[in-house]
Amino acid sequence: MKIKEIIREAVAEFALGKEFAVEHPADEKMGDYSTNIAMVLAKELGRNPRELAIDLVNKLSDNKNLSKMVEKDNIQVAGPGFINLWIKDEVLISQLNEALKTGDKLGNSDFMKGKKVMVEYSSPNIAKRFSVGHLRSTIIGQAIFNLYKHSGGEVTNDNHLGDWGTQFGMIIAAIEEDANFNWDSADINKLEEIYVDFNKKIEENPELRTKAKDAFLRLEKGDESARNIWQKSVDISMKEFDDIYKKLNVEFEHVYGESAFESLMPGVIAEAKEKNISSVGEEGALIVRFEDENGKEEMPPAMLVKSDGSTTYFTRDLATIKMRLTMPELKCDEYIYEVGGEQRLHLKQVFATARKLWPEETKRVEFVHVAHGLLSLPEGKMSTRKGNTIKLEDLLGWAEKKSFNITSDKAGFEMKDDYWLTNKNQNLWPHDVVNMSETMSIGAVKYNELKRSPIMDYVFVKEEAISMDGNSAPYLQYVYVRTRGVLNKLGENLDKVIAGKKEFENDDERILARWLLLRFVEGEVVESAARNFAPQTVCAYLFETAQKFNGFYERNKVVGVENQSLRLALTALTGEVIKKGLKILGIETVEKM
């Protein structure tokens, strides 16, 4: 059982059923754990909180389970009535021992036990380049997916491809109009170009708009030429996207593009009419209004069917929910959408309409929009049309070049005319250098996204995006390697040696131990990051871990001292925690550097 749970249980005995908190304060002076129970009860019973706290301390120290872990003198009243507890060293040390044997489950939480979650992310659009927004969604969404995977529940993911809609009418019409169009040389850039060009032409020649509308209607009706062009565009785009996913090590269990919901849409539209959720708007369009009991508009209406009879992005999102609520493998307690903040209103409308349409089925279901902010360049907004945007290839290219220089320099290698020259470090081979620089560069790019709150807009600064020191993945990867280096010097069996240890020798040891054990090993970091959809919490924790370890390592000799085993154990656990934390963020580690 986790230490925190034992404390909760002991406190709950006196809580009269009231809610109370047990927290792990960052500052050791405020206890390894602290509870506000006395303040909660004082209010209830009309008593002085400090006096009540003193009573409770006496009662708590009689608790059998608790007294095994906490010395009587180490339960103390502080401030207005907090009760602070310090865990016995020997308990922390034996937990350290256990932690080193945990393996893959290290730091996992179990707060989602018995629940099923779907995370929907990435969701790029066919026939358009993978944008920076989609890149953000992919990286952040994957981290959230991983966080839930390590939270005790069942988790699945879905890539909601934008492969349907009126814009396909434009692509189809554009290709049909272009007698010189050649599929053999077509790639995603070409498709995007043709789309942008067609948009420009429409301004001069409004007739083309009708052609595009007609093309989309033909597509919806199953017209062969339209279908053919659509399918080819999908294939070309998927090839590009799959390359990106492979590079980023992202895999989807489900890839239901918008087109997958085509056959469900008529049913959803009929249901909306039948249940009086939709009404007829301008020119015969079908809309959904959002009004409170007094008829006051809560948000603008959403379009279910356009006046020309075509469906919308909104309709498809409803059909998606219908399918998710019906298909057993998609049925979940919680649906998390990692989508740009500019779609906040759209998703609010979708979720509200789904609840109106299917009140029973959605009663116990949660819909969450995890929004990411906008990325801009120092010179202003990004725009594909104007050509000022960042491409993933470029980003990874810059990062790789930089990490390659760093690693080959460290290894004493030099590339000259395609040959490797000199090797100062016999430990590393050229392929190690290549692996390392790849792991570092992808890590750097991902970490740069993950270290900030997703919702924040930020200005893209190249040097920062591929930063390899300070609060960055390569720095953490480096500290991990450092911990491995210390251990490799000895490679002794740690378990047995620290088993008999009763006390820490100094504060550095104890502070590092409680930081690793009570924050990470007990599952607190993963739980709070998952609950708050906040991968940045993991980044902040890992960076602080690395700093704490470096401080510990600088001030304390690890190898060849009396306390060697305990210090090695702390070093080993630091490494394991960094490795696991990075893994949850979707970032790999290397064993040497």
Q: In the set 33, 256, 335, 337, which binds ligand ARG (CB under 6 A)?
A: 337
Which tokens in the block code for residue 250? 């992202």
| For ligand ARG, the closer CB: 107 or 162 | 162
What six digits make up the tokens of 400?
């790789």
Name the phi and psi angles at 532, rounded to 5. Answer: -100, 5
For the chain, the residue count is 593
Of 206, 215, 239, which Cα lies nearest the Cα of 165?
A: 215
Q: What sign has the CA pseudo-torsion 326, 154, 542, 250?
A: negative
The nearest distance, CB 339 to ligand ARG, in angstroms, is 4
Distance in angstroms (rounded) separating the CA atoms of residues 35 and 43: 15
Residues 6+ apart with CB under 8 A from 297: 289, 290, 291
User: Which of residues 175 and 339 has its CB atom nearest to ligand ARG in the complex?
Assistant: 339
Q: Which is nearer to ligand ARG, 134 or 402 (CB)?
A: 134
Q: Which of 152, 162, 454, 523 touches ligand ARG (CB under 6 A)?
A: 162
- Least separation in angstroms between CB 257 and ligand ARG: 9
H, E, C per residue of 340-383: EHHHHHHHHHHHHHHHHHCHHHHCCCEEEEEEECCEEECCEECE
Among 160, 211, 218, 446, indicate the residue that binds ligand ARG (CB under 6 A).
160
Considering beta carbons, is residue 123 or 472 the nearer one to ligand ARG? 123
The DSSP 8-state label assigned to residue 182 in this structure reads -
How many residues of this chain interact with ligand ARG, rule: CB under 6 A?
A: 8
Q: Which residue is nearest to ligand ARG (CB)?
A: 162
Closest distance between ligand ARG and the C-beta of residue 388, in Å? 19
**Residue matched to tokens 């009540």:** 52
Vertex 41: Cα angle to 36 and 46 (nearest 5) = 130
Check residue 128 and report its DSSP letter: S
Residue 287 Cβ, how far from ligand ARG at the closest point, in Å? Answer: 18
- Tell whether residue 192 is a contact of ligand ARG (CB under 6 A): no
Q: How far apart are CB 337 and ligand ARG at their closest, in Å?
A: 6
Residue 327: HSE in the Cβ half-sphere, 13 Å Cα cutoff: 13
The answer to whether 93 and 99 are in contact (CB under 8 A) is: no
Q: Which of residues 271-330 bind ligand ARG (CB under 6 A)?
A: 317
Residues 93-122: x/- map of binding to ligand ARG (CB under 6 A)? ---------------------------x--
Nearest distance from residue 208's CB to ligand ARG, in Å? 24
The C-alpha torsion from 551 through 555 and 556 to 559, rounded to 10°, is 90
Q: How far is the CB of 288 from ligand ARG (least distance, A)?
A: 16
The answer to whether residue 339 forms part of the interface with ligand ARG (CB under 6 A) is yes
Minimum distance, C-beta of residue 160 to ligand ARG, in the bound complex (Å): 4
Name the phi and psi angles at 504, rounded to 5: -80, 155
Looking only at residues 119 through 138 of this chain, which bind ligand ARG when binding is defined by CB under 6 A?
A: 120, 123, 125
Contact residues for ligand ARG, defined by CB under 6 A: 120, 123, 125, 160, 162, 317, 337, 339
